[in-house]
Chain A
Amino acid sequence: MITLGDRIALFADGLQAAQGDLVQCTSWDDVWEHAVGLSDETPVVSPIAYEQLQRGELPDDSEPLRSIADRSVGITVATLAVAETGSVLLIEPTPRDRAVSLLTRHLIVAVSEADIVEELADGFRWLAQQPRAAAYATFVTGPSRTADIERSLTIGVQGPCRMTVAVLA
């Protein structure tokens, strides 16, 4: 098992290769401050992150996706991160859980540094042991992208145009 520092460094490399950014935070307050600094709009917060964050705007109950389509900044939380690939694992059973990671323009994903595993295989091992989590689980590696027009890489097609992972100490 490689050290925590190595895991964070490896994770940062993988994320960067996928056009994602990384910020290191010491607390949830830190994450919030970072998100607020990005835009004048109030960040929207996924229900799965709300418990820890305790602030921000939640997606609407009845029309969660419509209510936050194209909002500037959203915050969610990852169950774990994978150093090897620079991915975060989002467990989002309901559309309301997913709304933020699907539709906000700049997505912030908080993950605790202790939850950075070394390899993708570790991520899948975790998933295999949590059958309920696999109801709707996504390894996300950077912002949404396409190269469908003349192979020209364009970031931000249908999902977020930017993605920042906030690694919590």
Chain B
Amino acid sequence: MSASTAPFKTRYRRSLSDPDLKPRLLDFQRSWRESRDAQVRRLEQRTEQSFDELRRDFAAVKDSVLERLDEYIAEFRSNAEAAGATVVELSTAQEAVDYIAGVCKSRGIDLVVKSKSMVSEEIELNHELEQRGITAIETDLGEWLLQLAEERPSHLVMPAIHQKRQYVAEILGEELGREFDPDDIPAMVASARDGLRRHYLSAGAGLTGANALVAETGSIMVVTNEGNMRLATSLPDVHFVTAGIEKLIPTWADAERQLQLLPRSATAQTLSTYTTCITGAQPGKEMHIILLDNGRRAMRDSDVIGDALRCIRCGACANVCPPYQIVGGHTFGHIYTGAIGLVNTTFHHSIEEAAGPQGLCVSCGACQTVCPVDIPLPKQILEVRHRAHESGHAPLWERVALRLWARPRLFHNLMGIAAAGSGLARLVGLVHRDHLRLPLPGRLRWRSVPALPLRSGQTLIKSRPPVNPLSESPSAGRTVDLFAQCLADRLLPSAVDSAARLIEAGGAAVNLPQSQHCCGLPAFDAGDWATARRMARQTIETLEGSEHQIVTPAPSCVISMQEHWPRLFSDDPEWLERAAAVSERVHDLADWLDGPGRLPDACLSNGGSNSWSAHRFCQASNRNDAGARIDQLVERLTGETAKPLEEPDVCCGFGGLTSLAAPEVGAGILERKLACVAESGCDKLITNNPGCVIHLRAGANAGGASHQTLHYADFLAARLPKNL
């Protein structure tokens, strides 16, 4: 079994065992980001349109085609056939393989040269042809290297990105019977020219994919850099095209729109070296265009997932994906890799194949920000996770943990015991810098276990007098309900108390709704929507008792209430309405302090020389929430300037259950973050989501980092005048 077809757990372990993979992919992601951003800026300048406008325009083109797919297929077919091509529409991978093999057999063809085609990977064409006595040779250098190594692509655009040059030298040496110096990459590249040439000359057929199928003329458009596609379609007498039906676009003008976005997003090129347009069979030759469904119509008809058919296979969603950087595409995905692979595998392959990597996604939402067709990938991944959970693909520990979490009383009792235990540990000297000195198993040693404070956030608030107002904010004189968040209340109680103090400093009174617990996010995230619904209902019941505005120090809960609740109750009009009535009243603390509870500029300046940097909660930041920019809020209130932090919006690795389900992924992402923090030279790292604070703190503690990590509410509240 090759590295890429093994079961998920094996693939996961294998990718972790390659020490070079992480740094190599990190380097790749960073350099891609820089050049892609520069390209997009230039494009925006030239077109005087924003990336969002450009991508939405093209997404609208794709959507219009998907709505009237059969009409466009008919138009494409009649034009392509008029130009001498044969067009066949096939439903399954098996049919596609049979068709290609059938044509080859009847023409006596036993060698096919291939240019890169993801659809041919999807249907595992090479392997299937092999079984039927037909040899298929990949001619794209990366694909060829994979074929020699019996591997699958680990990236949509850079298929062999996981291979080291030493390894490439080895496999090329074996194939070509001579030695290669691993450091002489040009020599290895040059060998492909000679190694592949003989195949072009003797192949009976050439096979390519298509980046677009242009309906108005029945043409295909293919984008490549090497020039192999042109060779594969110039020498052999038969040309096969394998393309998914979603590749249809109406006109050449649309093709140009696609090209504005594709190469810039894929390889950060203005245009790839070769953009080839072919219409019909060339004189004396045959052209067979295979339009493959293989789950695509089912995908289109699925509410949440349908938009994934806009995908133009640029790979950008992998290039910004923090867990992809840690494990690579053989683990993060199936045959399609990156965020899109987590989604479409369900339809092209199976829910079993799709289920494995779901737990690796940290739900940071970075993928959608760069997707050139604005696919709501984060939302879709949660949908697939839900389906995987429904079909029994959730680990036992997770199901048990969520059931416990879902019971407020039990949860509070367990937390009480843990807090008492932590208290005991403190007494006997087992606590150091608020973390337990516990011997952790090897794969968890990158973090420490926080010692639970004795008193919860809500208890802290109740046991002190209210803070005197610092100013008359618009909320002065009103009462505000504070939603503490289950996690923060027990693990980060000071932040809950600090949030209350800052609200009070604006002149409002803080009320703590009784028996508040959890909005349901952990269960929703894990795909366990039944449990999530139970938790959400309990929270709605708790919060609907008043008409006060609700503030929380946890932006993740705001997102959960505003975005996930409508999905949980989409079939339940009564609860949908009740959920909306609550979520409309919810504010993230940072928004509150800039809005209804606005505190004046520089009111928390202490004249000190604090050196701090801000990590922005990725999910809120990637949604472009104003409140996510806590550095700006803190700068405004303190009059100080943040120390610049690289990659301030990249996930810290907490990712809800990911840091438990795939601790190595959580650790790897954290390492990337902590390196940036160290680089910034700050003394204090502030951030906005309690989960991030806990994760960043535990990691910094275990790694002996010198900076202090805190919730910005704690950072700010510490500066409230002492006499208040």
Contact = CB atoms under 8 A, between A and B. Distances in A.
A65 B235 CA distance: 8
Interface string A124-162: 110110010011111111111111111110101111100
A151 B315 CA distance: 15
A108 to B, nearest CB: 16
A92 to B, nearest CB: 9
A98 B285 CA distance: 15
A134 B279 contact: yes
A17 interface: yes
A137 B278 CA distance: 7
Nearest to A132: B279
Contacts of B69: none
A121 B196 CA distance: 35
A17 B196 CA distance: 28
A147 B266 CA distance: 13
A72 interface: no
Contact of A158 (B193, B255, B278, B279): B193
Contacts of B165: 149-150, 152
B270 A141 contact: yes
B227 interface: yes
Interface residues of B, number: 61
A143 B231 CA distance: 15
Contact of B139 (A86, A98, A158, A160): A158
B160 A149 contact: yes
Contact of A142 (B46, B189, B260, B273): B273
Given A85-B271, A140-B274, A141-B272, A95 B282 contact: yes
A23 B196 CA distance: 32
Contact of A154 (B185, B235, B278): B185
Interface string B461-501: 00000000000000000000000000000000000000000
A149 B283 CA distance: 37
Given A95-B282, A150-B185, A145 B270 contact: no
B252 A128 contact: yes
A98 B233 CA distance: 11
A157 B271 contact: no
A134 to B, nearest CB: 4
A80 interface: no
Contacts of B26: none
Contacts of B293: none
Contacts of A149: 141, 145, 160, 163, 165, 168, 185, 188-189
Given A151-B28, A157-B193, A141 B234 contact: no
Contact of B251 (A93, A128, A156): A128
A48 interface: no
B282 A94 contact: yes
Contacts of A34: none
A126 to B, nearest CB: 9
A93 B285 CA distance: 12
Interface in B255-269: 255-256, 259-260, 267, 269
B83 interface: yes
Nearest to A154: B189
Interface in A1-56: 14, 17-18
Contacts of B41: none
Contacts of B269: 18, 141
B270 A148 contact: no
A139 B274 contact: yes
B219 interface: yes
Nearest to A145: B225
A164 interface: no
Interface in B160-179: 160-161, 163-165, 168
A95 B276 CA distance: 14
Interface in A37-88: 65-66, 69, 84-87
12 contacts: A18-B271, A84-B270, A128-B217, A138-B275, A144-B274, A148-B145, A148-B189, A149-B145, A151-B31, A151-B158, A152-B185, A157-B141
